[in-house]
Structures are given as C-alpha cells and as structure tokens.
Chain A
C-alpha cells in the first residue's frame, strides 16, 4: 500500500508545557493546524504511524549513541519528563514490533540501523502524539536520528535513510503514515531560547516543500550551527521525510515564530500521489 500520509511538525516542549505564556491568537492558529494534520492522518486511515524524531538524551547517551535507531518494542511509555512540566500525562503507546522488524531488515540493505525494544518517549515524540493521536491508540514506530551533537550523520545519509524507508513502506500491505518532527532554527535550552531565524526557516521550508534534494543537502553543519543554532541540526528529521517522499512536493499549513515555545512552529504536509 505504501505511505498514505507524510508530514512534518514541531515538537518543542514549550508547545504544551508553556502554552499559557504564548500569544493565544498565534498559539491557537498553530494548534488548529495540528488539528488539521490530525484529521488528515485519520482520514488516511493508517495502520501505523512512523515518527522520525530527534530525541534529547532520554534513551540514548554518549556512551553508545546510534546515528539512527528504530524502535521495535511491543509498547512504549511517555513522557519521560515530569508530566506537569511538559503538560502531558503519562501514557502507554502501542508499538508495531513485527512491521518494525521487517522494515528495519529491508532498510538495512541500504543504511545501517540500530534498533531498540525498550524506549521511553520524550517530548520529541510525545508533543506530536498529544495533538496527532490524542487517544494514543495508533501503533507507533519511533525513529531517532541523533541531532544532539556531533559527530552527526550527514544530511545526505538522512535523505537516503528516508528513501530506503519509503521504498520499504512501498513494499508493504499496511497503510503507513510518517511524520518527521524537529525544529528548524532554534537555540533551545540556552540563554538564547526564543531566538528564531525566520528568513532561514522560510528558505529551508521552501527547499523542503519543493523537495529539491541538492538544495536540501547543501547545508553545512557549521553554517547551520551559526545561523540556525544547535537546534537546527534537527533538520535531519525533515530531510528524512523529503527522502521518503522523493518526487512529491509539499504544502505549508502553518509557520510562525512563537518565542516562548522556543521555535518557529511548523506544520507541513507532503502531497502524496496516491492520496
């Protein structure tokens, strides 16, 4: 059946944890775009949701950091953070271990992957799920791309991972949705939290949604760090979605900097051929 939905969205913890401190008008418009994405996912009737995320030392640490890891657990739990701090209660989320295992096996023809049968979700996955699958009943396959610090997997490998994942999904009978989640420019958890380079973000989104591979892969990490902050390394998750939807363009449903959320809040959807 292949992919039935593909999109990207933000995941910053302030989106739920500091919601009362944002401009209500902008915040509510952002929430409405996430609700629209939820409806689109539900309308696509997926059997499983792959979330390509950038986690933040909840499971993976510098003692054994995978470049890319895919979850194949029976179930997951999250958030790992304090529930009141994040504004999301703890939930158990079903996994899809058999499908995950077979996708991993297929993708490993092209890209080496780590796998995990134990995984506690942090805000990087819980914030999107809070809006997109609020009943936490859709089986999830989590993917983590290390975006926390170098050495980082090159952008071209993220794109190729996405390509391989898209091909593996194409060969499956299941209906599969994929969401990439990360920041564009941002300086989270620093004194510069709230700084957002809007022109940089818009340029990146233009390249992403036109799915222009060469332009997407031309960013250099040192430039990203300087112009988009260390949080900008998370463009890897969006680029993986571009790879998974090669040949498709996308549509921006929402973008606005919300400084108290520490990120330019984004909702965008790729226009798949079969939908």
Chain B
C-alpha cells in the first residue's frame, strides 16, 4: 500500500516548482524516487484523475494536481465521477461512500 507516497509526490508537486520541472522533463526519474505500485505510476503518468480519486488520494492534493495537468474545474469534477464509474467506489480514506449518500 503506497497511497502515502502517491500523495507525498502530489504534495511536493503542489509546493515545489523544482519538482514540477522534473515532472515535466524527467517523469520516470521522479517516479522512481517514490515507493509506488505500477497502478499508481500509471495513474500519475496518465494522468488518470479518476483513478487517483478512487485510490483514495486526498482531494486537497488531487485538486491542484488536476489543475497542474490542465483540468478546468468542471472537467476535474467529471473526471472523479468517471473514475467511480470506471473503477468502482473509492477504496480507502475519507471519501468512501457514506451510507445513504
């Protein structure tokens, strides 16, 4: 389970311009520095915003990663909905569906 490191990479991207530079020029080298599963690496490479959401990435991190990847607000919201349709309910964390929601 390396959701923590997926989120840590997004945390660094949100606050460190040098990491953003590496994300754009040396993505594989950047990914190699974090303990990630192949599914997580694919979701970041995509980017697959819907899959990252379903994996349980915190929205306060994902929201800015989506913006960095060029997602307009409505497209970002739709990408999360599409992720639920494609991959099923959120697997872990704060966004697992509450009863009756």
Interface residues of A (CB under 8 A from B): 14, 17-18, 56-59, 61-63, 80-82, 85, 120, 148-149, 188-193, 225-226, 230
Q: Are B60 and A56 in contact (CB under 8 A)?
A: yes
Q: Are A226 and B80 in contact (CB under 8 A)?
A: no
Contact of B60 among A82, A120, A189 (CB under 8 A): A189
Contact of B95 among A82, A85, A230 (CB under 8 A): A230
Contact of A18 among B8, B73, B80, B95 (CB under 8 A): B73
Interface residues of B (CB under 8 A from A): 4, 7-8, 11, 14-15, 53, 58-64, 67-68, 73, 77, 80-81, 84, 93-95, 98-99, 101
Q: Are B8 and A190 in contact (CB under 8 A)?
A: no
Contact of A225 among B14, B53, B98 (CB under 8 A): B98
Q: Are B8 and A191 in contact (CB under 8 A)?
A: no
* Secondary structure of the A contact surface, majority rule: loop
Q: Are B60 and A63 in contact (CB under 8 A)?
A: no
Residue of B nearest to A58 (CB): B15
Residues of B within 8 A of A58 (CB): 14-15
Residue of A nearest to B82 (CB): A191
Contact of B15 among A63, A80, A190, A191 (CB under 8 A): A80
Are A226 and B63 also in contact (CB < 8 A) when A58-B14, A62-B4 are? no
Q: Given the complex of chains A and B, what is the CA–CA distance between A190 and B81 in angstroms?
A: 9
Listed residue (A61, A63, A225) with the most chain B CB atoms within 10 angstroms of its CB: A61
Are A149 and B94 also in contact (CB < 8 A) when A189-B59, A191-B81 are? yes
Shortest Cβ distance from A117 into chain B, in angstroms?
16
Contact of B98 among A81, A189, A226 (CB under 8 A): A226
Residue of B nearest to A124 (CB): B60
Contact of B67 among A80, A82, A193, A230 (CB under 8 A): A82
Residues of A within 8 A of B14 (CB): 57-58, 80-81
